[in-house]
Amino acid sequence: MDSSGFVNITDVVPDAILEIRYYSTYNFVGARIDGYEQPFALITKEAADSLRAVSDELLDKGYRIKIYDAYRPQMAVDHFVRWAEDISDTTMRQVFYPNVDKSLLFEQLYIMERSGHTRGSTVDLTLVDALSGREVDMGGVFDWFGGESHPDYCGNPDTGEWIAAENGLTEQQFRNRQILREAMLRHGFKPLDSEWWHFTLANEPYPDTYFNFPVSQLK
């Protein structure tokens, strides 16, 4: 279970921007997460090749991709579990889960003991305007715990139909999510029904392996 089948995303996708939230303290835990030794994004070679195709397509449309997370070691998932079990630690609640009782994080599947990220072919990402350098407005932030993060919030992601709702996504915000989603699906990724930013390579090379080597620059 070593890193031999992995690459640094930016070695394959040079236009990608990295904002590795779990290396920083700006995440739902409020601390650097175990296993994130350097602010790099690792992914399997197969997923990286597909992500390069996504990036090239989106760059032609005026966008760059920003990566929040990719491969996530099991020790990081274990850190999330310990944090979720400590009901008293609500440091970042107002930023990431103001409407969710922390005692329900396991029951509502916000925190689980296994993550697809640990298999190495999953990526969390958003869009950046290539000219201005500003993040595209997706109508919600990465790692927000709530229904607003679902791809079908205020619309049908399969048909592209936007549904107007009071205090919901604007049509442009919904369309922006669709730009990312459709590009990812075209190049072999599958979405998650609870997070607009989360995609896994459909034909992932290690579907039954949960890796635990740390996140750092590969040599």
| Residues that are catalytic | 195
| Residue tagged 């205020």 (tokens) | 154
Give me 52's structure tokens.
Answer: 């390069």
Asked if 139 and 177 count as a contact pair (C-beta separation under 8 A), the reply is yes
**Separation in Å, CA 54 to CA 7, 50, 51, 65, 121:** 17, 6, 5, 9, 14
d(CA 84, CA 108): 12
In eight-state DSSP terms, residue 28 is S
Asked if 120 and 76 count as a contact pair (C-beta separation under 8 A), the reply is no
